[in-house]
Structure 1
Amino acid sequence: MERRAMTRVQRRSEPLPSDARPGSSRGSNRERGRAKLQELLQLDAARFGGVADALRGLLDGGGSSEPEIGEHLLQFFGRFFEEGKASPVRGRVGGSGKSDVSLHWWGFDQIHFACASRTADHETENGLLSGALGASVGHVIFKDLAAYLLRELDDYLLRNVVQLGKPETDLQSSLEKAAAIRKVANIIIGQLAAAEEVRKRLWLKKKFVFDTRYLIRIDLVPKELYPEIARNCAQVDEWVELFGIDGAQRDERGALPETFLEMHPTLTVDTRHFDDGFAARLLEALGDLEEKTDGVLVHGENFQALSLIHERYREKVDCIYIDPPYNTGNGGFVYHDRFPHSAWLSMMADRLGLAEGLLHDGGTLFVSIDGNERDRLALMAQQKCRRLQLLDTFVWVNNLKGRQIAGRGAAGTHEYVLAFGGPGRGLFTVPVKWATQTMPSAYKGFRYQVFEDERGPYVLKNELYNTNSRFNEKTRPNLVFNIHYNPVTREIRFSDVDETVEFEGFVKIPPHPNRDGKHRFHAWRWSRERILADSGDLAFVRKGRVYRIFTKVRDFAETNLKDLITDIFTSDGTRQLAQLFGHPPKVDYPKPVELVRIFVHQAPQDGWVLDFFAGSGTTGHAVIEANREEGSRRTFVLVEMGDHFETVLLPRLKKVVFAPEWKDGRPVRMPTAEEVERSPRILKVLRLESYEDALDSFALDAGEANEKKSECLSSRGDEAFILRYVVERDDGLRLNIPALRKIADPTSYRLRKPTPDSREPQEIRVDLVETFNWLLGLRVRRMWAPRQFRLDGEIRRCRTGLQLAGRLVRDAHGPYGFRAVEGELPEGQRALVIWRKLGGVPEEDDLLLEEWLHLEGFAQRLREFDVVYVNGSRHLESLKAPGDRWTVRPIEEELVCRIFDSTSS
């Protein structure tokens, strides 16, 4: 009966039958109800503090309804479980007997996401009722769990307890019973909602950067670093494997000759193969990183990545192209491809909401989709993204053989690309030469003879008259007139259409006849005034005994983009990857480069292109290819969370940078000198903290965090600092990171992560410097290498305070460390960020900071900056000169504030 009752309660559309309602079984009694509730709730004072007292008063107070309370609570809360795990969607969508379409807007009450892979042995305890923050690591987080559960509770009580059809005496008893159930349920819901709120805030918080590396074109690297690179066997091994380099060129130690590096300028140096010191020296030598970085590759969940990069690219992006899962039910995608409509739309809505803020008014969002979700996506995007309107729907004819996915209807031959844009979006164009070669079926008529006049080359496309018969002497009388042209002097005169006037030496050109059966003439497209003003852009061409007037098209390298895409097929994407790798990598349905190039071209030649469903990296490939052919300098940002980020996406881009053409996994030809200059110079690669990482690092309170930290410090030494997220209950449910209240050494902070094959948790280093740059939205102009110092002398205390008797001396093993980052904030202010390793005595740290600023020349440059960020104490006022307006801000407060600034959303 218990299983049957739980099955039937899932159907909200009908009350429980009498034989399945709690309390109907003669065998139920007070002890059974209490035992079931105790088992369900797993009560303890820390998790559900007020529930036990409330139950004791209700269950021990007498009355016929006492044993039923536990049963009703079991039935109500148990409906959200499946096989012991939380399944909150079942109570509303999965359990409804109706079509999901009628409920598809409901999904916006939830956050939907894909999880990183986890093993069962190390999965966080699952279940809504398993205890506060033993949260399920599922794919759903409720944005307001309390409101949802209270709505569901009201519905449950109305249908299964109150039942309005009862006699009056029974109704009064039912109302009292419902009030008792609600009293206990409210306490449970409050605790569950608090736990869910923390889960939500852990999801919404900005994530840390775990790892930062750079792919740098070898010809940008200073020559003095070539010997170290040529001797790095890990780097050389990668080049041999990816680029098919002849291993015979290596010496007995595995090194390549330095001349080989000079002869192959598009080799990419991957800083992961080198120690931190080498990478830091290389970045410092490169100078302006912002200007030289042509791409950013982010390995992480796309919602988290969009949230982190938002400040840096806010209203800066020109073009977004994404190829999300089509929600068709086919497996193999990192993101679930068989959501209910509601869940899929909710997943997309949250991401499009963030992406909208990255586009400027003239930017465009392109979304590949098929007919399964096309209409719902178009409607949702325009409702959630108020600045964007649906501009066009492109039809991509990609499989003339046809394919059958839905199991019914006709075989599909096409997909769609939806184009959304803001008020500043102009016409879509495409290069004529490229379009005629790539899509000849749609652009086969675009071949024109090129002429030249004193203003330069031009082609003749359209005649001056308006080809639409609706524009005639009735609708446009001011544009219907005779044109008189002198072929010798090129003078132009006019007369009314019914005048018989003739001018000596002039040829009379009447308006074009209208053959609609109702009107005499077509109207001209230009007025008399414009014809006189822009006569140099008109060509009077003699055809036999008459003249025809054409407009000269001087910008004929491009033409308007059509909404029909032909001659590009789905199989082309797989074929292109096979040419690069020698075999098709395990990536489902990669988009062809030519398809994505159509949309990449809608960004200006120095624009930003974003793809946050990057897959195999087709968008990056398309940008690189377009830049090489057009001489443009577009920059791309790719986001991908799948494991193929390392195995497919990164190798693909390294190959494309190295050589423009490939076959069977080997380069067909090397780039020309011009193509080398147009190739990416620096690609930055980031790996982000995941939501699961944040859950693994959560502590219920600061005491637990300190206990965990002490355990770690005792085993690893004082150089390690473990970051734990804690809830500060005195301030509502605000999250904090106690270890960041004072950053003693920015290079030593870590998160702990369970490992499937070891009892010892893995510690992941956090890149605080890079994380802070992104949180600020900093455009990095100079990344100085970290430098270590020792004190040659001593610090003395005198009557006026501390005094440095000596100087700082550079020493690779010295106890004092400093690193500076220069850049610009989104509002245009110049910023200097100073990271230092603190010694533990604030006054001494400040004294050494001033000494370092003088030693490195920053003290004299401080007036160049508007704001200076520094960790630890920040008493730099003594360095201010009259008229200086720079201010000092603490890194710790700014860092924590910006990490959690969106968690209340």
Structure 2
Amino acid sequence: MKTKEEIFLSALEDIFIGTKIESKAESGYINLMNIKAQYFADIKEHLLAIIDQELERFPNFREELFDKLYTFFSRYFNESGSIYFSNTPWYKSVYERVYSNKEDVVLFWKTNMLYYVKTDVIFKSMKVNVKQFQFIFDASEIEMKKNNEKRDLVFELVHAEKNTIKLKAQYSNKKINISDLIKKAANAGCDELTEETLNKAIKLFKKQSEVDFFINKNAKQFLQEQFDLWLYQYMFKELNYYESTRINQITAMKKVAFHIIDFISQFEDELVKIWNKPKFVLNSNYIITKDKIEKTILNQIVESKGMEEQIQEWKSLGFVQNSFTLDELTKEQYQFLPFDTKYFPDLKEKIVSAFQHLDEEMNGWFVKSDSYHALNTLKEKFKGQVKCIYIDPLYNTGDDGFLYKDNFQHSTWLTMMENRLTLAREFLTDDGLIFISIDEDETHRLRMLLDKIFGEENFVNEIIWQKLTSAKKQSNFFSNVHDTILVYRKTPKRQQLKKVFIQSEKDDQNYKHIEEGTGRRYGDFDFTQKGQGGPRIFNGELKYPPEGKHWIWSQEKIDEGIKKGLIIFTKTGMPRVKRYLDEKVGNPVGDIWVDEMVKPLSANSSERENFETQKPVDLIKRIIEVSTEPDDIIMDFNAGTGTTAHAVVAVNSDDGGNRKYINVEIDEWFDTIMLPRIKRVIFNTPNKSGNVGHSHVMKYYHLEQYEDTLKKVHYKDAEFLLVDERKSPFEQYVFLRDMKMADALEMEGNEIKVNVNRIYPNIDLAETLSCLFGQKIEKLEKSKVTFENGLVVDLENMDYHYIKPLIWWC
């Protein structure tokens, strides 16, 4: 039988490392589990030595000590090794102790002290029996998802014999083809296998442990506070006497517990630093319209081997006919053709180096990344510069049309939102606004969260937007036909919104004429008002107003109006005022949006990108119109299909503005939907001149992710890193001497050289440093970047201190 000490140490290892992952696939989390296991093995010897020292005076207390320690620590870890209120029955009284006396109502939730990483299923190989068949599922090659990727399990038939079927499970963006598996199994002799039986077996395999992965922001403080509470609740309630020996035993137990907490929290603090470290910019490219490319460079592009692929993309997007030839490139209709530098890697530097103020020339940025890492990495570059943030986050329903595992419990959902919204606030200008679409399931919790982050005094309004034009027939109670848009300002500096004209049915009747040449809608209106007045001259003819009325304009204004064509005449010669619909003065916007101008997308809308929850461009346009000026920046860090970027271009088209957009999205439709969409928008959106197309420059790139770092990180001694040799690694910060990602550094004599390509291919060092320094790129040349503050960095002979926060986070 195991001793209490053996039980405790075994349990501590299990709960610290988390559920074992049996996959052999390369993964950041597999590496993390291995690192945790090695760390535990390293500290175990030191921990036992400390315990022996504390128990020298109380040898009979050993069994009870380990029993009590097991009781405490087993209550604060979940299956992933995350540290929080996981399994303690005393959590209600714990909660009561953390409320603040400053507020009469406080939003508090179970995981509020954590960073939310992702939700995933830890699959294990298993056998499943359905009817006469035994299914053997092999999970050894399942690579855990990065972030919350929208991928599903697919199965490959490994072996089938009589009633035994072996299947290998893997994640993929493809769907399961059940009929193919049935056919292969039948060919191998399992001809009685049906789709119903196979689907049931797969369902049983999938029904494994879904785990939320978190990192505790301050594990040491949290566990020490919880231990002090537990010590009172679990220990002193048991005591009938307080003699000195018992008090000393409890004191020794607290010292041991705090040593354990020190070791645990050192590792958790290291994960916090990895989570929050700035991320490398990878795989960057530009979309640039033809009019923005210098003629000499354009000639080189046309002659390059990538031109064939570029033309093929234009054809697939419908920009040019199948018969298109390069001779037609000079036609005016093609001046806004978007060139993508991914087709011209050898010319990318030359194309970009022609811009004298590169970041100022940008119309937008697309960033493929988990939203937290994007916000954390971009914050220095765009801090305090974004006038409007719009997001349409996961609604926490489990039934919103996305492939996310989005049915997070409320606590997990709040943590995910809190992590990101706290960072998002830093991006806003002092008079900036944030708009968040949400449904009825989380509106009340989200509003309390926003009160906490932005301050309830900065609540602006709650907008009701009609998302369905009619009630659902299958509803048993009230059919939900609206979403809520919560609006908050960053500070009280924002006192009002811009007025916006909202077209009505009356306007359709009054502005029914179309002007030739411009296509502008106009109406003709009465030129008189009640009251007495004299005659006026119209085109040299003296005209009297009708009896009891007067002309509304002075003679000078009439002469000017006739010159500008703003006065028209009826068949009887009566003057009328010509007014354009697009010049109609706007009114303050109400908080119920049910008008035609923001109507929901129909199933056959040209905007539709096959996303159930996709918002219409006109809805986002209104948000941008009421909240921004022509040179502002708009951000969407849950970009979905790219509707916000589309809306920015459309608003600029309407008023001639130069607003910029920042769109962040993590999933595969970044490449398959968002990028093609913005190219179509650039080329096809009407402009102020009455033609179509816009001069445009935008940059898109990927960011290194948390699990990418975990996959690359190394924990072993780095001899050239200086530490305090007078202390052991366990007396100082235990990871201080480790390599981390210092593979990017090379020693040449006494000189440290930077070679980031040893970590990742295709690193965009200029953009990485721009985000790190918080400096816009002024000019990018071959191997050299100049920032707006005048700093020039030689990218081939760079001081390693520049990238130290990215590779060695001490």
Change (3 A) 1:654 1:765: same
Distance 1:63 1:86 in 2: 33
> Are 2:226 and 1:152 equivalent residues in the alignment?
yes
Match of 2:260 in 1: 188
2:653 and 2:687 in contact (8 A); partners too? no
1:427 and 1:560 in contact (8 A); partners too? no
> Are 2:680 and 1:655 equivalent residues in the alignment?
yes
Distance 1:677 1:683 in 2: 18
Q: Mean alpha-carbon deviation: is it higher for 329-338 or for 381-390?
A: 329-338
Q: Give the CA deviation at 1:417.
A: 0.9
Select the residue among 593, 616, 638 that pairs with 2:641: 616
Select the residue among 746, 767, 770 that pairs with 2:767: 770
> Are 2:665 and 1:640 equivalent residues in the alignment?
yes
Distance 1:258 1:693 in 2: 45
> Are 2:317 and 1:242 equivalent residues in the alignment?
yes
Select the residue among 273, 282, 293 that pairs with 1:221: 293
Q: Mean alpha-carbon deviation: is it higher for 727-736 or for 301-310?
A: 727-736
SS in 2 for 1:604: coil
SS in 2 for 1:50: helix
Change (3 A) 1:44 1:205: closer
Select the residue among 313, 321, 335 that pairs with 1:265: 335
Distance 1:612 1:589 in 2: 16
Larger Rg: 1
Distance 1:373 1:125 in 2: 26
1:458 and 1:554 in contact (8 A); partners too? no
Q: Which amino acid aligns with 1:234?
A: E
Deviation by residue 1:838-890 (Cα, 9 ceiling, x = unmatched): 5xxxxxxxxxxxxxxxxxxxxxxxxxxxxxxxx35xxxxxxxxxxxxxxxxxx
SS in 1 for 2:631: coil
Deviation by residue 1:823-846 (Cα, 9 ceiling, x = unmatched): 424xxxxx14131535xxxxxxxx
Distance 1:320 1:613 in 2: 10
Q: Give the CA deviation at 1:103.
A: 7.1
SS in 2 for 1:559: coil
Match of 1:140 in 2: 214
Q: Give the CA deviation at 1:644.
A: 1.6
Distance 1:448 1:176 in 2: 91
Distance 1:357 1:836 in 2: 29
2:746 and 2:755 in contact (8 A); partners too? no
Match of 2:587 in 1: 559
Select the residue among 761, 770, 792 that pairs with 1:833: 792
Change (3 A) 1:895 1:595: same
Select the residue among 287, 306, 311 that pairs with 2:380: 311
Deviation by residue 1:278-321 (Cα, 9 ceiling, x = unmatched): 00111122433233211111111222212222222222211111
Aligned residues: 633
Deviation by residue 1:693-715 (Cα, 9 ceiling, x = unmatched): 12223233443999xxxxxxxxx
Q: Give the CA deviation at 1:147.
A: 1.9
Q: Give the CA deviation at 1:403.
A: 5.3
Q: Give the CA deviation at 1:190.
A: 0.6
Match of 2:203 in 1: none
1:627 and 1:678 in contact (8 A); partners too? no
Q: Which amino acid aligns with 2:318?
A: F
Match of 2:700 in 1: 685
Task: With the length of structure 2 as denominator, give the TM-score of the two structures.
Answer: 0.67
2:287 and 2:338 in contact (8 A); partners too? yes
Q: Which amino acid aligns with 1:79?
A: R
Task: Write the mapping of 1:171-186 to structure 2, written as runs, cut at 5 A.
Answer: 178-186=250-258
Q: Give the CA deviation at 1:554.
A: 13
Match of 1:530 in 2: none
Change (3 A) 1:214 1:651: same
Give the root-mean-square deviation of aligned CA atoms: 4.8
Task: Write the mapping of 1:755-766 to structure 2, written as runs, cut at 5 A.
Answer: 763-766=760-763
Structure with the bigger RCO (C-alpha within 8 Å, sep 6+) is 2
Task: Write the mapping of 1:18-57 to structure 2, written as runs, cut at 5 A.
Answer: 32-42=3-13, 46-57=42-53
Q: Give the CA deviation at 1:386.
A: 4.7
Q: Give the CA deviation at 1:195.
A: 0.6
Distance 1:686 1:71 in 2: 52
Q: Give the CA deviation at 1:359.
A: 1.6
1:215 and 1:269 in contact (8 A); partners too? yes
Change (3 A) 1:113 1:336: farther
Task: Write the mapping of 1:662-701 to structure 2, written as runs, cut at 5 A.
Answer: 674=689, 679-701=694-716
> Are 2:101 and 1:112 equivalent residues in the alignment?
no
Q: Which runs of 5+ in 1 are unaligned?
A: 1-27, 127-135, 251-255, 450-456, 462-484, 490-506, 508-552, 661-670, 707-726, 753-762, 787-818, 826-830, 839-870, 873-891
Q: Give the CA deviation at 1:418.
A: 1.3
1:295 and 1:682 in contact (8 A); partners too? yes
Task: With the length of structure 1 as denominator, give the TM-score of the two structures.
Answer: 0.61
1:749 and 1:765 in contact (8 A); partners too? no
Change (3 A) 1:345 1:772: same
Match of 1:347 in 2: 416
1:367 and 1:418 in contact (8 A); partners too? yes
Q: Give the CA deviation at 1:609.
A: 0.9
Distance 1:579 1:738 in 2: 50
Select the residue among 331, 339, 344 that pairs with 1:274: 344
Q: Give the CA deviation at 1:34.
A: 2.5
Distance 1:187 1:264 in 2: 69
> Are 2:568 and 1:597 equivalent residues in the alignment?
no
Match of 1:750 in 2: 757
Match of 2:496 in 1: 427
Match of 2:569 in 1: none
Q: Which amino acid aligns with 1:559?
A: N
Q: Quick one: percent identity of the two aligned structures?
A: 24
Q: Which amino acid aligns with 1:695?
A: L
Q: Mean alpha-carbon deviation: is it higher for 205-214 or for 239-248?
A: 239-248
Match of 2:564 in 1: none
SS in 2 for 1:654: helix
Change (3 A) 1:672 1:414: closer
1:314 and 1:357 in contact (8 A); partners too? yes
Change (3 A) 1:574 1:222: farther
